[in-house]
Amino acid sequence: MNIVFYFLLSSFVICSEYSDRYYKSMDKGIEMFDSSKTEVDFLKVSNYFYRISQVIKTDWLSSYYYAYANTSLSMMQEDNDLKEEYLDKALNILAPFDTLKTASLDSIAMSEIYTLRAMIYVGKIFINPMINGMKYGPLSEQNIEKAKNLNVTNPRPYYLSGQSKFYTPSAFGGGVDKALPILKDALDYYDNFKPKKYWPNWGYDDCKYLYNQALEKIENQN
């Protein structure tokens, strides 16, 4: 009995120390991400979360922020080839989490992954809207719908959907009048959203700004 007891105690101590290191690493990583302003900052964040993801390959959060950092890096590039390179890298990082079955994640986590993938496809559209819109627009919408279905109260897919309608001409099914109610729904979900520790919590300020822009445009039309 003593041998079993000491074995269990030792295992608990090792697991606790491992968990403590993980939490401290994630605390530092999130702080780095939130304070990042420049390309150099986001490169450091990308490398940091890459190292965590290599230690714990089944940890979706470190891979998520690793992919998110590369998505952010893409937005900071002027060269379209570099934009594409960072976005492709982000997609590859998320590839192991394609399905609930293979990822062994709950639906709420998968909702966030599909939302980020939708954002990546939006980034690809912005590189060349005339050419990439037809190719990546449906892929972005598919991922948005998957994200909504997995977690109907996740505000981020609604924000991305409203953003898409806002920037899409009315002749192609978009327009501020269609964007406004979707962005309003997103804001309502943001108001009631309580993320778990380390989980994604982005989008509110941009959604609020876009909602106000849509509202102003509609008021000016009347």
Rounded to an integer, what distance in angstroms lies between the CA atom of residue 136 and that of residue 134? 6
Mean pLDDT of 183-205: 95
| Rg, C-alpha atoms of the chain | 20
Rounded to an integer, what distance in angstroms lies between the CA atom of residue 152 and that of residue 186? 11
Q: What is the pLDDT of residue 58?
A: 78
Mean pLDDT of 65-87: 97
Q: What are phi and psi of 191, to 5 degrees?
A: -60, -30
From the CB of residue 5, how many other CB atoms can be counted at a distance below 10 Å?
Answer: 9
State yes or no: pLDDT of 53 exceeds 80. yes
* pLDDT band of 104, cuts 50, 70, 90: low
3 state SS of 175: coil
Check residues 47 and 221 and name the one with the higher pLDDT.
Answer: 47
Judged by average pLDDT, the poorest of 35-39, 53-57, 130-134, 183-187 is 53-57
Distances (CA, A) of 181 to 57, 184, 195: 39, 5, 23
* Sequence-distant (≥ 6) Cβ neighbours of residue 39 within 8 angstroms: 73, 76
Q: What is the pLDDT of residue 99?
A: 62
The helices-and-strands tally (H runs, E runs) of the chain is 10, 0
Per-domain residue ranges of the chain: 25-127, 153-222
Evaluate whether 120 touches 91 at the Cβ level (below 8 Å).
yes
Q: What is the pLDDT of residue 28?
A: 95
